[in-house]
Amino acid sequence: MAEVDGSSGASLVFAYYVTGHGLGHATRVVEVARHLCLAGHEVHIVTAAPEFVFKRDIPSPKLHIRKVLLDCGAVQSDALTVDCQGSLEEYARTAVVNRAALLAVEAEWLKSIKANLVVADIVPVACTAANLAGVPSVCVTNFSWDFIYSEYVTVAGKHHQSIVWQIAEDYSHALFLIRLPGYCPMPAFRDVVDVPLVVRDVRRSRKQVRKDLGVGEDVKLLLFNFGGQDARWSLKDEYLPSGWLCWVCGAPAEQQLGSNFKRMDRDAYVPDLIAASDCMLGKIGYGTVSETLACKTPLVFVRRDHFNEEPFLRKMLEFYRGGVEMNRRDFMSGRWAPYLERALIIRPCFNGSLNGGKVAASLLEDAARGKADTIKPHNGAQRLRDAIVFGFQLQRHPGRELTIPDWYGPTETKLGLLPARKSIDGIQGAVLPYELEVDDFEILEGNLHGLEDTAEFLRTLARLDEEGDVRASDLAEKPQQRERLAAGGLFRWEDDLFIARAPGRLDVMGGIADYSGSLVLQMPIKEACHVAVQRSPPTLQRLWKHTRARLSAHGGAAKPVVCIVSFGSDMVNRAPTFDMDLSDFLDSNGDPISYEAARQYFKQDTSQKWAAYVAGTLLVLMRELGVRFLDSISILVSSDVPEGKGVSSSAALEVATMSAIAAAYGLKISSRDLAILCQKVENHVVGAPCGVMDQMASACGEANKLLAMVCQPAEVKGHVNIPLHVQFWGIDSGIRHSVGGADYGSVRVGAFMGRRIIQCISSKQCEGLKALAADDVDDPEFALSLVDAKEQYLCNIPPHRLEGEYADELPVKMKGQEFLNSFGSHNDPVTRIDPNQSYAIKAPTAHPVYEDFRVKSFAVALTAAESDEQLTALGELMLQSHYSYSKCGLGSHGTDRLVRLVKSTNQNAQSDGATLFGAKITGGGCGGTVCVLGRAGARSSDQILKIQESYKAATGHLPYIFEGSSMGAGQFGFLRVHRRASHEIPQLRAV
């Protein structure tokens, strides 16, 4: 390491590692490196990015470029889609396979240039190489690859999980993080310094740029800057509103451009072009967002799939009124006009400092001299303890951050899904008299059933005009969320609305055994999804501008359209709106399209794939019941059921949507049949291989009771009263659960493969018994084997039959192709066998057989007399179920930790009398929520809160606690409501 004499004028040597992912990193590094060079320091840029990006803007002999690829970033299959699997595999090839040799080379090189400081944006191995060379390191970024890749791991499979932890460990060697605005959660860093925007300066005025390029001030100008754009994208003049011109950056030479599109030179200085334009069309990245905000130029953006820094940059962009979202279908089809016209209306209002490059350079200089006040040495392992990355959702978890900027976390209620209640007469939090709370609406059919969440949903509807006014939002101190604006123009208030409510469910016992025919015990939870539906003649439906533009492009004739708004979209990084022509659900003969065609339709845009759960209900009703939708339909979704926590948010959404549509169209569907139809939505339209218990619990459940159902296919046995001395809680592990995940699907495949193998084994036994006892076909073993040979549900095989006849014959694992060769189809209509995948068979086959026995025992034990022995027996059955999940490969670190905390609480309380007796992972496993059984009372609630705090202390995640129950959709029925005119609303009186 170079000697530094401590004087402020001594020249320093910086090794600046820049990721090979995109040019946005390079452009911001230019701004920091430029200030370092101006201060007289040597800067060595280590990158795979083009050299001209740096040399063009830093004409200094003190700048050196070393071309090395040390991290690949996110591999994109096209300009809008990240290849999760490919990204992880490419990173493994780049920085994992040859890691030792790579680190040795970098450490020696750092010593050879006598580096004083390593700077990373945001190359993980640079920090470890610096540590090996004895050189301090600092990271400068708005995101880190451990966070980005953690979501890829959930998509691409757990076998890449070690990459995430290795990256976090690399970052743990950094002295501190210089954090840029628009940042993601970066838990690998404990010492953080926030700086202003690092952004390139505008060099020429808007007037001068336009003059140089021959464009008048009266011309509306669009800048098209889409890194990695496909040469096959033909940009046509009709894409632009009349009188507009478009400058195109980075256009491939072979790309066809209309006469109103002008190709910019490769070395064109983009900040000047942005400042000279009326708006910009592109995708969200740090460079684009920072430069459009700095220039106060609106950005019309199209979402990318799995680009996980995007939600946080988008939130900042929208907070400063700088963004207009264009859906992918309109982008690809050239229906740009409504979005560009909207961009002309908004007024970006960013007024923060733009000197982040200078500030960051000063911090780096202090760090290199060893005098930065922010440098606080910590043991890397201690920091890594707090790097809880894997599996956490993109949203901020309550309690995770103590101080955050406004753009990072907007004001939230309990789940951030419904607006906070407004104050009355200036008294914050005052509660209206219950009978007056929904006076904006006249309830024509149905009733509230005393449900406060339904009353709050009606209050939300009443505020839509106020909150959804675009002009009012532009003038407001803080802009409204896009979903509120979209919802404000959704309904015609002179017509009736139909509202349905469906709760999530807590899987008490049964879980994944449902698809094998088990008895299941499910409790509908307090959290529920509300859906409001309105049908309108196509000529009267209120449509968004882009929808009207699409219809105009096809002749302008009114035709049925479905428009959907989903509240809470920001929490899970999905587009808040979706619309489609209902004719898209019809083939050329006017018949409903196939489920496979629908599944492909919704896969076109990942950010709008959620609409399959909602609009898919329409297709199922068309295909299964012959319903024809000739009216247009407007749908608003607002759910309190948290997503990804294993409490059936998807089932609640499907059941509430179909219930509201059925009410609007006068369809009489029993709760059971409705649940089965909703399962078809998830199995065939969404493509998730779930059983039916989730939909049944949401549709048929009753408050404070366990729905007992045999899933063969869906036979409700009744509702089991929860004894007054028993209580169930759900504790969220913070690890995202997905019923469509690879592990859930492979376990289901393994169970069906096991069933097929048992059928073949029992068939051979029958043949053998026939040969041995040709005159005695009444042999009981023959009869049992004959039943097993035809058995469609694993759960009908008794445990003793499994152990005595089949367990030794079942393979632990089997390759898909081997199974197909030996047994043919596994006869599961909703999963497919991958010939190249190896499937566990023995554990997934045994689980439902024993689980069905455990569930039946649990139901009987619930009716026993109150005693510690009863609660201990119930808890033991839950624990057995939990560990059986793990044998199938459906466990997780988070859920295992929660179960251990429950067990330790029980053991520590033995002397005083236990209050918590058992716990198990729920639903599809692989994360999600743990169900806890305890004695009802304040002491148990205190223990649950202690577990919550212990889990937070260990992981950094404060678990959400599910407590309470509510009625299912069938018992709720529906509401038909009519909004009163303002003069009809009774005067509110203080109580």
Catalytic residues: 694
Is residue 560 within 8 A of residue 734, CB to CB? The reply is: no
List CB contacts of 101: < 8 A, sequence separation 6 or more.
none
Sheet containing strand 117-121, strands side by side: 63-67, 42-47, 13-18, 117-121, 137-141, 176-179, 192-194
What separation, in Å, do the N-terminal and C-terminal C-alpha atoms of the chain show? Answer: 74
Q: What does the block give as tokens for 592?
A: 């409903």
For residues 683 and 665, the answer to whether their CB atoms sit within 8 Å is no
Give the span between the Cα atoms of 701 and 694, in whole angstroms: 10
In this structure, the strands spanning 577-581 and 441-445 are unpaired
Whether 201 and 191 have beta carbons less than 8 Å apart is answered as: no
What is the distance between the alpha carbons of residues 653 and 688, in angstroms, rounded to a whole number? 14
What distance in Å separates the CA atoms of residue 427 and residue 775, rounded to the nearest whole number? 89
Residue from 984, 986, 974 nearest 454 by CA: 974
Partnered with residue 528 across adjacent β-strands are 503
CA distance 364 to 139: 10
Cα-based angle 648, 651, 655 (whole degrees, multiple of 5): 145
What are the phi and psi torsion angles at 934 (to 5°)? -155, 175
Cite the beta strand spans of 429-547 per DSSP E. Answer: 441-445, 497-509, 519-536
φ/ψ of 380, rounded to 5, equals: -60, -35
Q: Are 898 and 948 in contact (CB under 8 A)?
A: no
Question: Under the phi-then-psi rule, with left for phi > 0, alpha for psi from -120 to 50, and beta for the rest, what region is 239?
Answer: alpha
Q: In degrees to the nearest 10, what's the CA dihedral of 934, 938, 944, 948? A: 170
Helix, strand, coil proportions of the chain in percent (round to 5)? 45, 20, 40
Residue 630 buriedness (CB in 10 A; 0-12 / 13-18 / 19+): exposed
CA 938 to chain centre: 35
Provide the pairing of β-strand 279-282 with 220-225. Answer: parallel
**Integer Cα distance of 212 and 462 in angstroms:** 52
Exposure string of 855-886, with b = 16+ CB inside 10 Å and e = fewer, is bbbbbebbeeeeeeebbebbbbbbbbbbebbb
Per the structure block, which two tokens stand in for 370?
């060893």
Please tell me the distance from the alpha carbon of residue 653 to that of residue 564, in angstroms, as a whole number.
13
CB of 258 closer than 8 Å to CB of 237: yes
**Number of residues assigned to the chain:** 991
Which strand (E) or helix (H) includes residue 726?
strand 726-732
Cα Rg of the chain, angstroms:
30
Q: What gap in Å lies between CA 410 and CA 319, rounded to an integer?
A: 9
d(CA 890, CA 881): 11
Longest dimension (CA), the chain: 106
Are the C-beta atoms of 476 and 958 separated by less than 8 Å?
A: no
